[in-house]
Structure 1
Amino acid sequence: MAYYQQHYQHYQQPSQHYGGYGQVLQQNAFQCNAWQAMGFNNQDELQVLFNQAVQTNPQNMQRQAIQSENLVGIMNNSAQIRGYFRITWSRELCKVMLAMLDRSKDGFMQWDEFMELQQCLVAWYNMFRSQDVDGNQRADANELLAMIRNQFRFQLTPDSATTLLKRYSYVDEMGRCVLAFDDFVTLCVKLRALTDAFRRRDQQQHGQETGASTFGYDDFIQCTMCL
């Protein structure tokens, strides 16, 4: 818990410009045991999977960390993880999830970052299941977006909300606007990562949060294209 508190000490404070996403994570995602939700007997069993992936090549061993292809293997090959989330994790989504937590920007994920990801995924899946009433792994897109605005309290305008719906939802055979869980995760990851990046630059440039920030072209490319 100390690791999470260290990285969310600032962002758990509500903001009139960016909402209270860190606070929501602190109160929900980091108060549960991801390993227990997934059906592991203890956290050590999950760490065994991580350590096995670390041993797959010298670069991993040198950093005691995993890469995106290792994350794909863990998420898809673990019976407990597959049984809990009931999806096939794509390489692209695993790259995006790793980039969200890659604070060292070296393309690797350490154990603490891996566990932070699992905590977030369990929290997001609980939210998703609350809307997936028929258990078909699809949930109402408008209601999920309302949760992001009202529970996470991201400061989204109607235009930005519409953009998100168009990008991540689709119309099913019943004419409903829905999201699959992996699309919901991608939305949450990118919204969180880009908001955090923007918020840090706003704070650094102005000494306080103003809701505005100036990006150079190269900095903008680095922030957006890494996800």
Structure 2
Amino acid sequence: MAYYQQNYQHYQQPSQHYGGYGQVLQRDAFACNAWQALGFNSPNELQILFDQSVQSNEQNRMRRAIQSEDLVGIMNNSSEIRSFFNINWSRELCKVMVAMLDRSGDGFLQWEEFMELQQCLIAWYRMFQTHDMDRNNKADANELITVVKNQFRFNLSQECVTTLLKRFSYVEPNGRCVLSFDDFVTVCVKLRALTDAFRRRDQQQHGQETGTSTFGYDDFLRCTMCL
């Protein structure tokens, strides 16, 4: 828990500008044992998967970390992880998830960051399941975006909600607007990563949170294009 407290102490407290999303992560994600929730018999089994990917090439070994390609393999080839989430993890989504937690900016995921990712995914999946009544990996998009806004407590305007729906949901032939779990994860990952980046710059520029920040062109591209 010390690792998470160290990396999240900045936004554990709710903000009038950004909401209370940090508190939700502390309560729902960081409190669970990922290996147990995923169905492994011990935490060592999950670490073995990670370590095997670390040993797959020299660059990984140098950093004791994995890349997005390695994450794709772990997520899709582990029977426990596949059974729990029941989806095929795409290369693009794995790249986005690595970028969310890549605090060093080298494109690699350390063990602690890998475990943090698993815990966040479990929390998001449990929330998704409460709206996926027929277990077909689809749920009502309006309900899920409401979850992101009200239960995950991101401070989103209605205009922003509409933008998220247009970008990530799709309409079925019967007219129902739905969101798949992997798209739901993408929404959660991007919201968290971009909110963190914006909030951090706001604090640094003003000495306190104001809800505003100034971005140079290059800085803006680096913040957004990495996701």
TM-score (norm 2): 0.99
Task: Name the counterpart of 1:84.
Answer: 84
* CA-CA distance at 1:80 after TM superposition: 0.3
Q: Give, in whole Å, the separation in 2 of the partners of 1:45 and 1:131.
A: 31
Q: Is the aligned partner of 1:170 residue 2:183?
A: no
Task: Name the counterpart of 1:68.
Answer: 68
Task: Name the counterpart of 2:225.
Answer: 225
**Identity of matched residues, %:** 75
Task: Name the counterpart of 1:133.
Answer: 133
Residue by residue, what CA displacement relative to the aligned partner does 1:27-48 show, whole Å, maximum 9, x if unpaired?
1101111111111011110000
2:195 aligned partner, one-letter code: T
1:48 aligned partner, one-letter code: I
Task: Name the counterpart of 2:29.
Answer: 29
3-state SS, counterpart of residue 179 of structure 2? strand
Which blocks of at least 5 consecutive residues in structure 1 are unaligned?
none
Q: Give, in whole Å, the separation in 1 of the partners of 2:143 and 2:213.
A: 30
Q: Is the aligned partner of 1:201 residue 2:171?
A: no
Task: Name the counterpart of 1:142.
Answer: 142
| Most deviating of 146-155 and 204-213 | 146-155
Q: Give, in whole Å, the separation in 2 of the partners of 1:28 and 1:42.
A: 21
3-state SS, counterpart of residue 139 of structure 1? strand
| Most deviating of 162-171 and 145-154 | 145-154
RMSD: 0.6
Residue by residue, what CA displacement relative to the aligned partner does 1:166-217 show, whole Å, maximum 9, x if unpaired?
0010112321111000000001000100000000000000000000000000
Task: Name the counterpart of 2:3.
Answer: 3
* CA-CA distance at 1:155 after TM superposition: 1.1
Q: Give, in whole Å, the separation in 1 of the partners of 2:88 and 2:161.
A: 27
Structure 1 segments, 4+ long, off by >4 Å, are none
Task: Name the counterpart of 1:108.
Answer: 108
